[in-house]
Amino acid sequence: MNQSQSYLPGMQGDVSRGNEVQQGKAKMAGVRDRGELHVHLNGAIPAPIIREILADESTELPPGFLIERDLLRNTPCHSLASYLTPWQALRLFPKKRENLDRISNAVFASLVENGVRFVELRSSVLYLAHLQNCSPTQALEHLIESTRNAAHRHGIRRGLILTVTRGDYGAVCLSTLLQAYQDLGEPNDVVGLDLAGDEEIAYPSELPSLFRKAKDRFGLGVTIHAGETGRVENVQAAVELFGADRIGHGTAAGKDPHLLDKLVTQDICIEVCPISNRLTGAVPFDEAHPLQEFRRFGVPFVICSDNPAIHQRGLADDQTIAIAEGLTASDLDQQYEAAKRYSFIRDLD
């Protein structure tokens, strides 16, 4: 058993819980097709590929950043900000177009290994424009072409979700991304918008209305990272202000019955990432995962992987761990259809 395993539910010396996980693995053997609705492109790049690209592009890492210590996250972090440390390096590449293709191919190969039939990939795009010294429109075009080719090669349907990070420039960044999207003729490859980043950081007051306007004008789905740091009000804002169709993580919602009822009434799906939720500290290891409350209230949810390569795991592992977190075999049997129902990708068969 490696170190990462010891920090996951059912893998901490508790024989009965350990048996649940082993039973879960057996049940998972019959679950072949999967849909992935919450995965970050840079968080899905296998570590060997990252090392190769950093060397190929002669990338200088930030002072104090150690690949061996800071690239992976497989033990609990004391905060979400600490969990996000790998992005100090992940945002520094790829500078070369061919390395973007290497990334896309590696990510889709990993998805295939996990039985993923369709995926919604998240990327901020603007960092790519900076790295490759091109316009946001060109960067988005490069990302569309690279992931489209890799998806076709591996036989996976894919959609892109454009991510904006919390902070003072969130509104400007969203406007820039939407302009690039329009410049390219509003391609069907782009299926949604996302707000991510440390929830302790404020966003511009006009940002929620920009999300809603984009949703109404372009028909894009809206998913908001919210409730990952224990702030119930962030989930409420995602629903009431941003017009979210889905909530990323949403763990804090498990403590508010009225909010859970609202999610059920408005048919808003929660993207549950079991492994990530434990590693970020969103769900302490001495507490039950709110997934059990989601089930009890009838809140729609899909199991997702978030940043699988950073965890050295994949969607199949998240679904296995979800059994230890309270899911049943019947729940898992319904996951593929649930992912199709709440996906922003059109015409999934």
Tell me if 349 is assigned to some domain. no
Block residue for tokens 């003072």: 168
pLDDT at 217 over 90: yes
- Tell me if 202 sits within 8 A of 165, measured CB to CB: no
Annotated catalytic residue, options 20, 120, 141, 228 = 228
Tell me if 7 is assigned to some domain. no
* Domain total of the chain: 1
Tell me if 243 is assigned to some domain. yes
- Percentage with pLDDT > 70 across the chain: 91
Tell me if 58 is assigned to some domain. yes
Tell me if 3 is assigned to some domain. no
Query: What pLDDT was estimated at residue 16?
Result: 37
Map the chain to HEC letters. CCHHHHCCCCCCCCHHHHHHHHHHHHHHCCCCCEEEEEEECHHHCCHHHHHHHHHHCCCCCCCCCCHHHHCCCCCCCCCHHHHCCCHHHHCCCCCCHHHHHHHHHHHHHHHHHCCEEEEEEEECCHHHHHHCCCCHHHHHHHHHHHHHHHHHHHCCEEEEEEEEECCCCHHHHHHHHHHHHHHCCCCCCEEEEEEECCCCCCCCCCHHHHHHHHHHHHCCEEEEEECCCCCHHHHHHHHHCCCCCEEEECHHHHHCHHHHHHHHHCCCEEEECHHHHHHCCCCCCCCCCCHHHHHHHCCCEEECCECHHHHCCCHHHHHHHHHHCCCCHHHHHCHHHHHHHHCCCCCCC
**Average pLDDT rounded to a whole number, residues 128-154:** 98
Q: What is the pLDDT of residues 19-74, one digit of tens each?
A: 444 444 444 444 479 999 999 999 999 999 999 999 999 999 999 999 999 999 99
Higher pLDDT, residue 80 or 340: 340
Q: What is the pLDDT of residues 87-101, one digit of tens each?
A: 999 999 999 999 999
Its pTM stands at: 0.92
Split at pLDDT 50, 70, 90, the class of 9 is low
- Tell me if 137 sits within 8 A of 170, measured CB to CB: no
Query: What pLDDT was estimated at residue 7?
Result: 61
Dihedral angle computed from the Cα positions of residues 138, 141, 147 and 152, in that order, rounded to the nearest 10 degrees:
-140
Q: What is the pLDDT of residues 279-305, one digit of tens each?
A: 999 999 889 999 999 999 999 999 999
Residue 145 is a catalytic residue? no
Query: What pLDDT was estimated at residue 349?
Result: 75
Query: What pLDDT was estimated at residue 24?
Result: 45
- Residue 110's domain is classified under what CATH number? 3.20.20.140
Per the structure, the complete domain to which residue 143 belongs is given by: 12-342
Query: What pLDDT was estimated at residue 206?
Result: 98
Split at pLDDT 50, 70, 90, the class of 229 is confident
Tell me if 347 is assigned to some domain. no
Tell me if 170 is assigned to some domain. yes
pLDDT at 107 over 70: yes
Tell me if 284 is assigned to some domain. yes
pLDDT at 6 over 70: no
